[in-house]
Amino acid sequence: MLSLIYLIVMSTIAGILTGIVGMAALTLYPVLISVGVLPITANATITVSQVAGGLGTVLSSLRELHGHWKQTFQITIVNTIGGVLGALILIHSSNAGFKKFVPFFILLAGIMILFPSKNIQSKKQVNKWIKIISWIGVFLVGIYDGYFGAGAGLLMIAILSKVINQKYVIYNAMRNFASFIGNLVYAIMFICMLPIDWKVIIPLVIGLFIGGYIGPIVVRYIPSQIMKYCVGIFAIVLSFVLGYQAYFK
């Protein structure tokens, strides 16, 4: 009973973070490990359960997505194609080694969020080379998301903050939709090819859906600039915590 409550509470927190910045995998991975789920199984189980969290965030983000569906679908397609490749890599390998690289990815994301390009923000037309690099970035984040996923939301936010001249709440909604579609595709792949711990799915689904619906609502009432600074600082602090855990424990 205590384990059930523990999983629902933690998955609700993870769902809220997912709606704000995309942190479910990073939050729930150590939670599932702590209750005895094996690493690869934990990663696959989180992905399957995140479909519920993604549904909550998308339903809650429909207001922000209005008028931005074309660009949202473009981002989703590129990101999901990369994610399928990453998921295939995971199915045929191990994700243990990625723990040592995650802190550097998160640190990079924090720096990108905190220090936006002034040129991009001031121009209506984004330089074509920046666009190309950014689309490559969306694809690479997809690979990383399908393979390991921890902190992928932060990386996506960092990239979208560079190329979408909109408020945080808008490109966060785009990220939420892309993440939902990606997780739906990866979940189908993982159910067919990897072991899933079905005992923990129900509490995870409940918590992630509730939290996922709350997250975008929270973002809606926080000024965009404050949101970006908070997320950027959080990413940098988190990178040092994860770095300590990966290299000194």
Total tally of structural domains belonging to the chain: 1
- Torsion angle, alpha carbons of 58, 182, 152, 95, to 10: 140
**How many residues comprise the chain?**
249
Residues of the chain above pLDDT 70, percent:
92
Cα-Cα-Cα-Cα torsion 19, 23, 27, 30, nearest 10 degrees, comes to 150
% of the chain exceeding 90 in pLDDT: 38
Per-residue confidence band for 125, with pLDDT thresholds at 50, 70 and 90: low
Mean model confidence pLDDT for the chain:
85
Question: 221, 169 in Cβ contact below 8 A?
Answer: no
Give the Å distances, CA to CA, from 162 to 26, 43, 194, 211. Answer: 23, 29, 36, 27
> What does pTM read for this prediction?
0.82
For residue range 45-82, what is the model confidence (pLDDT) as tens digits? 998 999 988 999 999 999 999 999 999 999 999 999 99
CB 81 within 8 A of CB 227: no
Asked if 190 and 47 count as a contact pair (C-beta separation under 8 A), the reply is yes
* Range(s) of the domain holding residue 86: 2-248
What pLDDT shows up at residue 173? 94
What pLDDT was estimated at residue 78? Answer: 95
